[in-house]
Every structure is written in C-alpha cells, then in structure tokens.
C-alpha cells in the first residue's frame, strides 16, 4: 500500500520544511487503544512510544524491563519495554504484537524502528516521489 | 494521492499544525483541522477517540535513536 510523506514546518530558515514518512497507527493494549501519527525511523533500533501513552493504554510503564538509549548527542536516556499491539488502518488485517520502549521525552511521539516494526513489514521509501510503500510480511 | 508534474505531493500539515509546535493535538480524521490541543496527553483524554493523536514536533532539531 502506498502512503504519502507529510510536510511539516520547521524553524530553520535554510530548511523551512521537513518531509517525513508519517503514518497513522492504532496502538492497543488489552481493551484500550489510540490512533496516533507515527514516524517511520529506519535509523532507530527499536520502537519508541511517549511515556504519556502509558496512562492512556492503562499501564504503569515503569513496570517494564528498563534499557537505555543513546542518540546523536551521546546522552543516554532510560526506556521501559512493553509489548503493544499495532495495526495500520486500511492495511493490516490483524494486530501485530511488538516491543516498544516507553520514553519520557518532549520530542518523541511514536517512532517505528528496526526491531519490531521493520521485522514485520516491508517498507520501501521513494522520497524522490514523496511516497513510501508498506507491505505485510509474507 | 495528489500529484504535480508526475510526482506525488506530500500531505501538507504546515497550516493545520501552525502554532501547535511542541503541543499534543487531536487532529480530525480528514487531517484538515485540530480538534483539541494541550500541553500533555492526559488533558486530551476526552478527545483521544475523536481523531488522530499527534505530538507536534518542534522541528528545529533532528532526532536519532540508538540502542546502547
């Protein structure tokens, strides 16, 4: 299935727009769920979800196994791992359970990374055409 | 998907999200308006089933996650 990139304004005069591979996903845990915009990030090792989703999904996110992440600024931050069900509206026909790291961050909503998301889906980026394809793994 | 000169057009969220940088928002399913915004997700609890939740990036930075 083909998806368009999304255009977001930036504060940088040299790069006033950012064109990002964003998709709507439904995340759920037991009976609680939410539809949210997520960034497909092939450079992220794992999926990340903002800690504020913990309450929405009915869990104390700090009960999960703790691990640490480090970004380009070389500063580490703790994340707490939980399995979450993910669906892509109009594409997936079933829920896929995959690990997410809950992160207390003002900059991360949801990132879809290599372990979990890229394990389950075939993603083909065509940035030159402002589009990308996602297929369920056969 | 809209095209221009044979090239797909990205979904333009610049106007819809203008002024909401750094905020949590619920946007309508047609992605043309913001239904509700707040500084944290908990404040949006009554609206999260009415649209699409998004943390609007303050895109004066780039983020790269890397597992230790």
- ipTM entry: 0.89
Question: What confidence score (pLDDT) does residue B66 get?
Answer: 38
- Please state the rounded mean pLDDT for residues B10-38: 94
Instruction: Please state, in angstroms and as integers, the Cα–Cα distance from residue A40 to each residue in A14, A20, A73, A133, B63, following that order.
Output: 24, 8, 20, 11, 12
> Domains (ranges, CATH) in chain A?
2-6+20-136 (2.40.70.10)
Query: Does B11 fall in a domain?
Result: no
User: pLDDT digits over A1-39, tens only?
Assistant: 999 999 988 777 777 888 999 999 999 998 999 999 999
Tally of domains in chain B = 1
- In sequence order, the 6+-apart residues with CB closer than 8 A to the CB of B4 are none
Nearest CA in chain A to B9: A130
The parent domain of residue B33 ranges over 23-58
- Non-local (6+) Cβ contacts of B68 within 8 A are A67, A68, A69, A70, A76
Flag whether B18 is in a domain.
no
| pLDDT tens by residue, A73-119 | 677 889 999 999 999 998 988 899 999 999 998 888 999 999 999 99
* Structure letter (DSSP) for residue A52: T
Residue B65 located in a structural domain: no
Q: What is the mean pLDDT of chain B?
A: 84
Contact A7 B41 (CB under 8 A): no
pTM of the model: 0.90
Residue from A18, A23, A130, A134 nearest B7 by CA: A130
The whole-angstrom separation of Cα B21 and Cα B12 is: 15
In a domain, residue B35? The reply is yes
Facing B8 at nearest CB: one of A76, A108, A129 = A129
């Amino acid at each position: 299935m083909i998806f368009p990139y999304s255009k977001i304004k930036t504060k940088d005069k040299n790069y006033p727009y950012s064109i990002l591979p964003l998709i709507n996903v439904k995340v759920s845990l037991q009976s609680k769920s939410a539809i949210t915009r997520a960034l497909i990030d092939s450079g992220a090792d794992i999926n990340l979800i903002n800690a504020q989703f913990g309450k929405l999904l009915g869990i104390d996110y700090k009960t999960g196994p703790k691990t640490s992440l480090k970004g380009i600024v070389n500063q580490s931050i703790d994340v707490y791992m939980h399995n979450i069900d993910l669906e892509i509206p109009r594409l997936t026909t079933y829920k896929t359970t995959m690990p997410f790291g809950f992160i207390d961050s003002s900059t991360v909503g949801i990132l879809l990374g290599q372990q979990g998301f890229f394990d389950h889906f075939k993603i083909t980026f065509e940035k030159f055409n402002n589009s990308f394809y996602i297929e369920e793994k056969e | 998907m809209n095209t221009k000169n044979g090239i797909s057009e990205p979904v333009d969220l610049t106007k819809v999200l203008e002024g909401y940088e750094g905020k949590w928002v619920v946007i309508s399913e047609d992605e043309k308006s913001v239904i509700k915004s707040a500084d944290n997700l908990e404040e949006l609890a009554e609206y999260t089933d009415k649209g699409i939740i998004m943390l609007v990036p303050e895109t004066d930075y780039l983020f790269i996650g890397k597992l230790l």
